[in-house]
């Protein structure tokens, strides 16, 4: 079956540091990949996505590149801010060519990011 593995947290960084959160996946077919973010007290929000190999998703200074050869979708940001403190979830959706509509997402366990001023 499908699965997502992401680095364990919490990850604690100083403001303006470089961020990488690793994510690898196992899937049959050709999945779409996502990063969702959950800020304290709020619901899950889509941060970025990529639907085919070598696609780069980006939003709010965050980037992630779909690497089919390494089955990875690592999240990066060049300079983090205190406001980036949140829980980040890597997720995948099954084969985009399944034709079955928007399948449910398979999530990783989440990585709690703490940015200190």
Partner 1 sequence: EAGVVQSPRYKIIEKKQPVAFWCNPISGHNTLYWYLQNLGQGPELLIRYENEEAVDDSQLPKDRFSAERLKGVDSTLKIQPAELGDSAVYLCASSAARGLVGEQFFGPGTRLTVL
Binding site for partner 1 (CB under 8 A): 4, 32, 36, 42-46, 49, 51, 89, 91, 93, 96, 99-110
Q: Rounded to the nearest whole angstrom, what is the least distance from the CB of residue 46 to partner 1 in the complex?
A: 5
Q: Rounded to the nearest whole angstrom, what is the least distance from the CB of residue 86 to partner 1 in the complex?
A: 14
Q: Rounded to the nearest whole angstrom, what is the least distance from the CB of residue 73 to partner 1 in the complex?
A: 14
* Contacts of residue 45, Cβ cutoff 8 Å, sequence gap at least 6: 36, 37, 38, 39
Burial class from Cβ neighbours inside 10 Å (0-12, 13-18, 19+) for residue 28 reads exposed
Greatest pairwise CA separation for the chain in angstroms: 47
Q: Rounded to the nearest whole angstrom, what is the least distance from the CB of residue 111 to partner 1 in the complex?
A: 10
| Residue closer to partner 1 (CB basis): 1 or 117 | 1
Distance from CA of residue 46 to its chain's centroid? Answer: 9
| Residue closer to partner 1 (CB basis): 17 or 21 | 21
7 contacts 19 by C-beta, under 8 angstroms: no
| Residue closer to partner 1 (CB basis): 49 or 77 | 49
């Amino acid at each position: 079956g499908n699965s997502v593995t992401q680095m364990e947290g919490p990850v604690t960084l100083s403001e303006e540091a470089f961020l990488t959160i690793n994510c690898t996946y196992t899937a049959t077919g050709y999945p779409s990949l996502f990063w969702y973010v959950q800020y304290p007290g709020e619901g899950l929000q889509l941060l970025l996505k990529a639907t085919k190999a070598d696609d780069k998703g980006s939003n709010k200074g965050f980037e992630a590149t779909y690497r089919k050869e390494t089955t990875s979708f690592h999240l990066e940001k060049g300079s983090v801010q205190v406001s980036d403190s949140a829980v980040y979830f890597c997720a995948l959706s099954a084969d985009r060519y399944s034709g079955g509509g928007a399948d449910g997402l398979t999530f990783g366990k989440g990585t709690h990011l703490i940015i200190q001023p």
